[in-house]
Every structure is written in C-alpha cells, then in structure tokens.
Amino acid sequence: MELLDPAKQKRVFPDEMYEKLNGFVDDLDIDPADPRKKGNLIQVLRKGQQIFGYLPRELQEYVAVRLGIHHAEVSGVVSFYNFFTTTPKGEFTISVCMGTACYVNGADKILSQFERILGIKSGEVTEDRKFSIDSLRCVGACSLAPVVTINDKVYGRVAPQDVEKIIEDCLVQEEA
C-alpha cells in the first residue's frame, strides 16, 4: 500500500488537535513497516477520541494514513467497539440508564425531561456542544435506580424534577 503524507490530508479540526495526536503516535514509536502496528490502533483511536471528542470519517482516514493501514481496518475497529463514537458528544455527556430497574422507576420520564429542557433528542448534541444525551442498557447500579451518568459522575434515584438542577450544576461546574 502506498503511504500518503498525513500533512496533505483534508483536515477538519484545528492543527493543534492533530499535533497532539501526532505527538502521541510519535511517543508510541510505531514502525510503519512493522506488521504489528495494528496493535496500537485501539490506543491511537482512544487518544483521538479523547482529543477530538469523536471519530468522524475524516479523522479515521487520518489515523489510517498515519499508521500506514487501510481505512477499512480503522473503520472496522471503530464500528466494533461500543466505546468509540462517530457522532459528536457534548462537553457533558448525559447517559440515562434504561435497564429494567431504571425503566420501571421512571427513566423514560427522566430522559424526556432532559430532551425537553435541552431541546435535543437522545443521540444528539446541543448546538453549542455543551450537552449530549444518550440512553444506556444498564449502568449496573440498580439499587440507585433510576440512574443518570454525566461524564464520570453518577446520579442515583433521579426524579424528573431533579433534571433542571442537574443541568444547572453542570453549568456551574463549567464556570469554576
């Protein structure tokens, strides 16, 4: 396969973001001729998602060229692992658990309340990219049902009337 120069690829994000990813890849010291280089792909994709927030096609193509592998290999890994996302996420990623315990305790009403207040549906991100909403199958904290997670913080026994305060807390946290 002929390797393209990553610098000549179409870039949709600021150069500083690509420089961070390149620094990470450089630190891995990957030899483009080494067939084991694919073993670093997940690490590179995780770092890419951390830096860029998600893995759109353009970034996947960049990673493929940077590692000297086919885009199909990168795309296959991205689509296989649930951790990876090809859609933008907000600064505050709201996940509402829809497992059985949470659902029977009103998780659907909580999700509806987040959607109403933020003006987006599950799977979408606000225009300012501050908030995104998703639903999960199970968080594994059934004794706290219904459960909402925002980034790494867990909120238990959430009621629809708590949603506005939770959103306000995020905005206050951002200002701090």
pLDDT, average across residues 7-22: 83
Q: How many Cα atoms within 13 Å fall on the side-chain side of residue 7?
A: 1
Using one digit for the tens of pLDDT, what is the confidence trace for 68-122? 889 999 999 999 987 899 988 899 999 999 999 999 999 999 999 999 999 999 9
Q: Judge: domain 6-80, CATH 1.25.40.
A: no
Model pTM above 0.85:
no
Structure confidence at residue 130 (pLDDT): 94
For CATH 3.40.30.10, the residue range(s) in the chain are: 92-175
Annotated binding site: 97, 102, 138, 142
Per-residue three-class SS string for the chain: CCCCCHHHCCCCCCHHHHHHHHHHHHHHCCCCCCHHHHHHHHHHHHHHHHHHCCCCHHHHHHHHHHHCCCHHHHHHHHHHCCCCCCCCCCCEEEEEECCHHHHHCCHHHHHHHHHHHHCCCCCCECCCCCEEEEEECCCCCHHHCCCEEECCEEECCCCHHHHHHHHHHHHHHHHC
Q: Judge: domain 92-175, CATH 3.40.30.10.
A: yes
**10, pLDDT greater than 80:** no
For CATH 1.10.10, the residue range(s) in the chain are: 6-80
Annotated binding site for [2Fe-2S] cluster: 97, 102, 138, 142
Structure confidence at residue 121 (pLDDT): 96
* Cα angle for residues 91, 96, 97 (degrees, 5° grid): 140
**Tokens encoding 8:** 């000549």
Structure confidence at residue 54 (pLDDT): 92
136 strand-pairing partners: 97
Structure confidence at residue 49 (pLDDT): 92
Terminal Cα distance for the chain, rounded: 49
If pLDDT is split at 50, 70 and 90, which confidence band does 36 have?
low
